[in-house]
Amino acid sequence: MLSKACIVGTYQHKLEAMARLAPDMALTVIVPPLWRDERGITRLERAHTEGYQLMVLPMALNGSYHLHIYPRLAHAIREIRPDVVHIDEEPYNLATLHANVLSRRAGARTLWFSWQNLTRTYPIPFSWIERYNLDHVDHAIVGSQTSARVWREKGYTGALTVIPQFGVDPDVFSPPPAPRQDAPVHIAYVGRFVPEKGIDVLLEALATLKGPWHATFLGSGPMEAPLRERARSLGLLESVAFAPWSSSTEMPDFYRTVDVLVLPSRRRPNWTEQFGRVLIEAMACGVVVVGSDTGEIPHVIGDAGRVFAEADADALRAILDTLVQDPALRRDLGARGRARVLTTYTQDEVARATLSVYRAM
Q: Quick one: which of 97, 177, 176, 143 has its CA closest to 277? A: 143
Alpha-carbon gap, residue 133 to 101, rounded angstroms: 9
Q: Is 330 exposed, middle or buried (0-12, 13-18, 19+ CB in 10 A)?
A: buried
Alpha-carbon gap, residue 350 to 114, rounded angstroms: 15
pLDDT given at position 246: 86
The stretches of 81-125 forming alpha helices (DSSP H) are: 94-105
pLDDT given at position 146: 87
Amino acid at site 16: E
Alpha-carbon gap, residue 39 to 328, rounded angstroms: 37
β pairing state of 40-43 and 34-37:
antiparallel
Give the helix/strand (H/E) hosting 226: helix 224-233
CATH number of 185-344: 3.40.50.2000
pLDDT average, residue stretch 240-248:
91
Confidence at 211, pLDDT banded by 50, 70, 90: confident
Q: What is the pLDDT of residues 131-143, one digit of tens each?
A: 999 999 999 999 9
pTM above 0.85, yes or no: no
Domains 4-167+347-360 and 185-344 share a fold: yes
Judged against a pLDDT cut of 80, whether residue 38 lies above it is answered with no
User: Contact, 294 vs 265, CB < 8 A?
Assistant: yes
Mean pLDDT score of the chain, rounded to an integer?
A: 96
Q: Quick one: which of 91, 73, 215, 69 has its CA closest to 147? A: 91
pLDDT given at position 270: 85
Alpha-carbon gap, residue 188 to 243, rounded angstroms: 11
Q: Which residues contact 155 (CB under 8 A, 6 or more apart)?
A: 134
pLDDT given at position 357: 98
Q: How large a percentage of the chain has pLDDT more than 90?
A: 90
User: Contact, 62 vs 32, CB < 8 A?
Assistant: yes
Alpha-carbon gap, residue 86 to 99, rounded angstroms: 9
Alpha-carbon gap, residue 166 to 168, rounded angstroms: 7
Judged against a pLDDT cut of 90, whether residue 247 lies above it is answered with no
Buried b (16+ CB within 10 A) or exposed e, 120-150: eeeeeebeebbeebbeebbbbbbbbebbbeb
Q: Quick one: which of 90, 92, 93 has its CA closest to 67? A: 93
Question: What sign has the CA pseudo-torsion 326, 327, 328, 334?
Answer: positive
Alpha-carbon gap, residue 330 to 350, rounded angstroms: 28
| Category of 219 on φ-ψ map: left (φ > 0), alpha (ψ -120 to 50) or beta | left
Alpha-carbon gap, residue 98 to 61, rounded angstroms: 14
Please provide residue 73's backbone torsions phi and psi, each rounded to the nearest 5 degrees: -65, -40
pLDDT given at position 229: 97
Q: What is the pLDDT of residues 108-125, one digit of tens each?
A: 999 999 999 989 999 999
User: Contact, 102 vs 73, CB < 8 A?
Assistant: yes
Alpha-carbon gap, residue 238 to 232, rounded angstroms: 9
CATH number of 4-167+347-360: 3.40.50.2000
Q: What is the pLDDT of residues 268-308, one digit of tens each?
A: 988 899 899 999 999 999 999 999 999 999 999 999 999 99
Q: Is 154 exposed, middle or buried (0-12, 13-18, 19+ CB in 10 A)?
A: middle
pLDDT given at position 10: 84
Q: What residues does each domain of the chain span?
A: 4-167+347-360, 185-344
Q: What is the pLDDT of residues 42-99, one digit of tens each?
A: 999 999 999 999 999 999 999 999 999 999 999 999 999 999 999 999 999 999 999 9
